[in-house]
A = this chain, B = another copy of it.
Amino acid sequence: MGNTVKYVLDESRIPRAWYNIVADLPSPPPPVLHPGTLQPVGPDDLAPLFPMSLIMQEVTTDREVEIPGPVRDVYRQWRPAPLFRARRLEQALQTPARIYYKYEGVSPAGSHKPNTAVPQAWYNKEAGITRIATETGAGQWGSSLAFAGALFGIEVEVFMVKVSYNQKPYRRALMESYGARCIASPSMETNFGRALLAKSPDNNGSLGIAISEAVEVAASRADTNYALGSVLNHVLLHQTVSGLEAIAQFELADDYPDVIVGCTGGGSNFAGIAFPFLGEQLRGGRKVRIVAVEPAACPSLTRGRYAYDFGDTGHMTPLAKMHTLGSSFMPPGFHAGGLRYHGMAPLVSHVKELGLIEARSYHQTQCFEAGVFFARNEGILPAPEANHAVKGAIDEALRCKEEGVGRTILFNLCGHGHFDMQAYMDYFGGRLTDNTYDESELAMALAGLPSVPEPA
């Protein structure tokens, strides 16, 4: 029997700098606009929400951004994260493909999110901030920021989408274990939340609503900043620590990916694994196919429009050009809560428009089927979000088998599923449905996109 092979790096090999793909792109991404003036936002516009260090990371064109020593010190509790060769899975599939996965579930919070939560908390602490407000859907991001806040002595307040707050008490308990405060959103703690609840007391919330509430709290208090777990350039930047490590690990393996697969919600774990490899290609290195896998029920990259849109429901954020289903789009229920967002990271959207990546979508049942197959062969039970990447990788491997070609496939296993067992129970119990959105609702949401004239 072949066995799972682990490629480890000494902790001295934790990258000293994050990688910024903007430096290598043939064109820069379109600027983020102020919703009132429709002019590019400047650093001062963002200062009520973020520390200046993160704002500068958001707009920098430097190829490398140094990782602060204290952040690397925390990273090394679980980094470098292992790269595995899934030889048991390869054998079960009887594929000539070589399948590798980078496993980010080794972090204390169980996912890739601490890669950015830790630096975000640290930069805020350096800026004298004592409190951070944020939102969370499934809870991966909220618990990661809670973890990071505990390490640096920063209070963390998490607006959790109400339906998840009620359905996922265990995620909430994890945040509380780290000392964070967790509030069901929409809440009575913000003007936006109160207005929504006045209109519809039974409102179950959405990520867009929770973002609006957290932004409102951060904007109105000097001691409080806002933090986002995906979408923004600096978040994607922090996640590149994963892909940079993977490049070094492939050297150890004496191999190189032909195909890279990642799941996409906001886009950060995908960019984290893919951008460093894409950068090598853009600088004249080997070409690699990059495949973004998204849920068929919330398919921003494959069915959204590339347009300027708000990041939140309450329209408090700047306008970013991205693949979007419209900020009023309400995706149907499915279990990968971390992929339930109307928009896509502007940088991921931009490289998609440039033709540098592909995208495809899957329904959840086929993703759970892939995840269980993976668990029985590789031992790790993936998070529902990660199951999308597993499914994408397995399909690539099966194509190799059909074609009789032995390609090297890399995917990002961005987190374990230990907090998502209800989803697995529903899958085993035959209770999963592959909900789809209503086409007319999508059309309406897209019709509601803000009107932004093309730049001259």
Interface residues of A (CB under 8 A from B): 1, 3-6, 8, 10-11, 70, 73-74, 76-77, 84, 88, 106, 108-110, 147, 150-151, 169-170, 173-174, 176-179, 372, 375-381, 418-419, 421-422, 424-425, 428
Cβ–Cβ contact A70 & B376, under 8 A: no
Query: Which among B1, B74, B108, B377 is the interface contact of A380 at CB below 8 angstroms?
Result: B108
A10 contacts which chain B residues (CB < 8 A)?
A: 8
Residue of B nearest to A376 (CB): B150
A425 contacts which chain B residues (CB < 8 A)?
A: 169-170, 173
List 8 additional A-B contacts (Cβ < 8 Å) besides A150-B375, A150-B376, A174-B418: A6-B76, A108-B378, A108-B379, A108-B381, A169-B425, A173-B424, A173-B428, A176-B428
Cβ–Cβ contact A379 & B150, under 8 A: yes
Cβ–Cβ contact A170 & B376, under 8 A: no
Residue of B nearest to A425 (CB): B173
A11 contacts which chain B residues (CB < 8 A)?
A: 6, 8
A27 smallest CB distance to B (angstroms):
40
Complex formed: what's the CA distance from A147 to B8 in Å?
Answer: 23
Residue of B nearest to A423 (CB): B173
Complex formed: what's the CA distance from A411 to B140 in Å?
Answer: 28
Residue of B nearest to A5 (CB): B76
Cβ–Cβ contact B372 & A177, under 8 A: yes
Of all A-B residue pairs in the complex, the 4 with the closest CB atoms, nearest first, are A170-B421, A108-B379, A3-B73, A418-B418
Known: A179-B376, A376-B178, A379-B151. A3 touches B74 (CB 8 A): yes
Cβ–Cβ contact A422 & B170, under 8 A: yes
A422 contacts which chain B residues (CB < 8 A)?
A: 170, 173
A88 contacts which chain B residues (CB < 8 A)?
A: 151
Complex formed: what's the CA distance from A150 to B88 in Å?
Answer: 11
Cβ–Cβ contact B418 & A375, under 8 A: no
Query: Which among B4, B150, B173, B421 is the interface contact of A169 at CB below 8 angstroms?
Result: B421
Residue of B nearest to A153 (CB): B1
A316 smallest CB distance to B (angstroms):
31
Complex formed: what's the CA distance from A425 to B168 in Å?
Answer: 12
Complex formed: what's the CA distance from A422 to B106 in Å?
Answer: 22
A354 smallest CB distance to B (angstroms):
38
Cβ–Cβ contact B421 & A375, under 8 A: no
Residue of B nearest to A110 (CB): B418
A179 contacts which chain B residues (CB < 8 A)?
A: 376
Cβ–Cβ contact A421 & B380, under 8 A: no
A380 contacts which chain B residues (CB < 8 A)?
A: 108
A5 contacts which chain B residues (CB < 8 A)?
A: 76
Which of A147, A419, A421: most chain B Cβ within 10 A?
Answer: A421
A418 contacts which chain B residues (CB < 8 A)?
A: 110, 174, 418-419
Known: A1-B70, A418-B110. A147 touches B177 (CB 8 A): no
Cβ–Cβ contact A77 & B84, under 8 A: yes
Complex formed: what's the CA distance from A378 to B178 in Å?
Answer: 10
Complex formed: what's the CA distance from A106 to B380 in Å?
Answer: 11
Query: Which among B74, B151, B379 is the interface contact of A147 at CB below 8 angstroms?
Result: B379
A425 smallest CB distance to B (angstroms):
5
Cβ–Cβ contact B147 & A424, under 8 A: no
A170 contacts which chain B residues (CB < 8 A)?
A: 421-422, 425
23 contacts across the A-B interface (CB closer than 8 A): A3-B73, A5-B76, A6-B77, A8-B10, A77-B379, A88-B151, A110-B418, A150-B376, A150-B377, A151-B379, A169-B425, A173-B422, A173-B424, A173-B425, A173-B428, A174-B424, A176-B428, A177-B372, A177-B381, A177-B428, A178-B376, A179-B376, A419-B421
A173 contacts which chain B residues (CB < 8 A)?
A: 421-422, 424-425, 428
Cβ–Cβ contact B6 & A8, under 8 A: no
Complex formed: what's the CA distance from A88 to B74 in Å?
Answer: 10
Complex formed: what's the CA distance from A57 to B349 in Å?
Answer: 59
